[in-house]
Amino acid sequence: MVSENVLGKPKKYQGFSIDVLEALATYLGFKYEIYVAPDHKYGSPQDDGSWNGLIGELVFKRADIGISALTITPDRENVVDFTTRYMDYSVGVLLRKAEKTVDMFACLAPFDLSLWACIAGTVLLVGLLVYLLNWLNPPRLQMGSMTSTTLYNSMWFVYGSFVQQGGEIPYTTLATRLMMGAWWLFALIVISSYTANLAAFLTITRIENSIQ
């Protein structure tokens, strides 16, 4: 950038590239004069194969060194030699950090609402089937006891099995045991999937687009 522009005197420049040039001049013992390319361009190939701008000044040997924030491209490397690049930059967009909100129902996030509804309906359906199977072939248990096979106890037993808490009702019929075996396998798969999704949901930060 131009640091001084006094009328009638050469322009003076400043910046990181100028500091590098000053260090090189001191180390190697040479003098230099800075001038801007006549067309004020970086340099691009023309239709006749020549170059304009800064690259053109180097190609036609009107300049010994070109100093600028110049992008290194394969076409330019074919006609001039570049030093090792010493600066990289990119364009970014700054956004305000989103405010974190506490959701008391975050434990329900791993599954969709429709899936939770299906699971609740399955618990009721399996509980009803277990009750009907025991009603068709009842075990020898005293009615009204803690282990009686009422509809309420059947529902509670199925729900307890789903949340891996067990139950107190000894179902002895083969059909009921086959039903509960399939239900336990289903519960194992659902609980494992829920645990994995919940762990991923709590550990991975989800990026939300605050702008469109």
- For CA atoms 41, 43, 45, 51, give the dihedral sign: positive
Q: 2-4 and 12-13: which strand pairing?
A: antiparallel
Q: How far is CA 195 from CA 34, 124, 172, 191, 199, in A?
A: 67, 22, 32, 6, 6
Q: Which two tokens stand for residue 187?
A: 């519960």
147 is in an annotated binding site: no
76 is in an annotated binding site: yes
DSSP-assigned letter for residue 163: T
Amino acid, single-letter form, for residue 28: L
Cα 193 from chain centroid (whole Å): 21
Nearest by Cα to 97 from 208, 203, 204: 208
Q: Which residues belong to the annotated binding site for L-glutamate? A: 71, 76
Residue positions in the annotated binding site?
Answer: 71, 76
